[in-house]
A and B are shown apart, each in its own frame.
Chain A
Amino acid sequence: MHSHFILYQAESKMIKDACERLVEDANAMVVFLVDTNGQVLATAGDASDLDTTSLASLTAGNIAATSGMAKLMNEKEFTQIFHEGEKANLHISVLPAEAILLVIFDERSSLGLVRLRVRKSAQEIVNLLQTAKDKAHENQENAMPFAEITDDDIESLFSHS
């Protein structure tokens, strides 16, 4: 019952590269891929000033609430959300495979361009994610680094608090 999602280096890199291309193509500042539980799967562009962990958790909450609203209205899903700010804008799209794509952009780009490029990249990213998930699923048993952890390892994590 207790499952894990394991993202390996090779897939992680391919996903990140796809996000980097989207940054370029959409003339965006940052592109973020987040899973629906609020974990950051990839960041591209200059995210050094951003609190990515918080942003990911709020994005997931936002999307969870929005799809809850969609259900109540008998809509399947609101697949795209746009927030306009003074300096930066936020385009959020819900992808299949339980992922959310965030694009942050300013006046150097436009909503139209972002939408277009997101549409183009989405399929590639979804395919990559699916491959990653399939691989993780296959390797669920044997590739875990934690089979060997000891009680002491676990205990030592808490020694400082």
Chain B
Amino acid sequence: MSFINYSSKEINCKIVYYGPGLCGKTSNLNHIYQKTSPGIKGKMISLATETDRTLFFDFLPLSLGEIRGFKARFHLYTVPGQVFYDASRKLILKGVDGVIFVADSQKDRAEANQESMKNLVENLEEQGYSLGRLPFVLQYNKRDLPDVLPVEQLSKMLNTSGAPEFSATATNGEGVFPTLKCVAKQILQELRKGAK
């Protein structure tokens, strides 16, 4: 649910990075944080374990610029990918405006990707959302590694709704901004639709 505030002249939208454990969600945010100028970004908050696994969420507020006199602000969240943190994932999905599913392209993570996608669909449904009707983008990450599945195969396995998809290597930043832009655009287009 986007929040439009007339007194501060802001539109606030929430984007959630979803995907299996270690697929690179936090790495996406790290890259965005590193590559945006201080005026655009707020503080990045990571609630993580000692070993840098996301425990509850990462949070990064971005203020992209003005649209029709309103500041467009995007709140980026990552969920914890590890299976047993499902309760936390549900909480973070609340009020989401757009989802980025980060898949791990490595062969031996195929099953984990599918399980996480199924979990996303279920958790969205629980809140009355459906993937087909929500701004949604897929990212096939870790393309730099040797033992990865071809993108076509990942697409067939995961992208049943025909959503936009991107290849990425989050650790060097490749594909990170295109993925974010794509979902942000969909959200703004959705706002326009809602206004008509």
- Is B94 interfacial (CB 8 A cutoff)? yes
- Taking a contact as CB atoms under 8 Å apart, the answer to whether A146 and B192 are in contact is yes
Residue of B nearest to A1 (CB): B133
Q: In the docked arrangement, what's the CA distance between A149 and B69, Å?
A: 11
- Taking a contact as CB atoms under 8 Å apart, the answer to whether A4 and B191 are in contact is yes
Residue of B nearest to A37 (CB): B95
- Is B4 interfacial (CB 8 A cutoff)? yes
- Taking a contact as CB atoms under 8 Å apart, the answer to whether A160 and B87 are in contact is no
- Taking a contact as CB atoms under 8 Å apart, the answer to whether A6 and B196 are in contact is no
Across-interface contacts of B3 in A (CB, < 8 A): 4-5, 7, 35, 37, 39
Of A5, A39, A53, A65, the contact of B56 (CB 8 Å cutoff): A65
Across-interface contacts of B185 in A (CB, < 8 A): 154, 158
Q: Distance in Å from the Cβ of A145 to the closest Cβ of chain B?
A: 5
Contact with A along B79-103 (1 / 0, CB 8 A): 0000000011001101101000000
Q: In chain A between 139 and 161, which residues have their CB closer than 8 angstroms to a CB of chain B?
A: 140-141, 144-149, 153-154, 156-158, 160-161
Of A13, A37, A51, A144, the contact of B195 (CB 8 Å cutoff): A144
Q: In the docked arrangement, what's the CA distance between A140 and B2, Å?
A: 12
Q: In the docked arrangement, what's the CA distance between A154 and B135, Å?
A: 15
- Is A2 interfacial (CB 8 A cutoff)? yes
- Is B5 interfacial (CB 8 A cutoff)? yes
- Is A45 interfacial (CB 8 A cutoff)? no
Across-interface contacts of B47 in A (CB, < 8 A): 61
Q: In the docked arrangement, what's the CA distance between A51 and B156, Å?
A: 43
In this complex, how many residues of chain A approach chain B with their Cβ under 8 Å: the count is 41
- Is B70 interfacial (CB 8 A cutoff)? yes
- Taking a contact as CB atoms under 8 Å apart, the answer to whether B69 and A64 are in contact is no
Residue of B nearest to A150 (CB): B192
Q: Distance in Å from the Cβ of A90 to the closest Cβ of chain B?
A: 17
Binding stretch for chain A, among B57-65, B105-113, B143-151:
B57-65
Q: In the docked arrangement, what's the CA distance between A38 and B1, Å?
A: 11
Contact with B along A37-62 (1 / 0, CB 8 A): 11100000000000101100110010
Q: Distance in Å from the Cβ of B182 to the closest Cβ of chain A?
A: 10
Q: Distance in Å from the Cβ of A41 to the closest Cβ of chain B?
A: 8
Across-interface contacts of A58 in B (CB, < 8 A): 45, 59
Residue of B nearest to A64 (CB): B91
Binding stretch for chain A, among B6-14, B22-30, B115-123, B163-171:
B6-14
- Taking a contact as CB atoms under 8 Å apart, the answer to whether A148 and B68 are in contact is yes
Q: In the docked arrangement, what's the CA distance between A146 and B64, Å?
A: 16
Of B5, B95, B128, B195, the contact of A146 (CB 8 Å cutoff): B195
- Taking a contact as CB atoms under 8 Å apart, the answer to whether A4 and B194 are in contact is yes
Across-interface contacts of A6 in B (CB, < 8 A): 4, 6
Of B42, B64, B70, B133, the contact of A145 (CB 8 Å cutoff): B70
Residue of A nearest to B66 (CB): A157
- Taking a contact as CB atoms under 8 Å apart, the answer to whether B65 and A160 are in contact is yes
Across-interface contacts of B6 in A (CB, < 8 A): 6-9, 12
Contact with B along A1-41 (1 / 0, CB 8 A): 11111111100110010000000000000000001111100
Q: Interface residues, chain A, CB within 8 Å of chain B?
A: 1-9, 12-13, 16, 35-39, 51, 53-54, 57-58, 61, 64-65, 68, 140-141, 144-149, 153-154, 156-158, 160-161
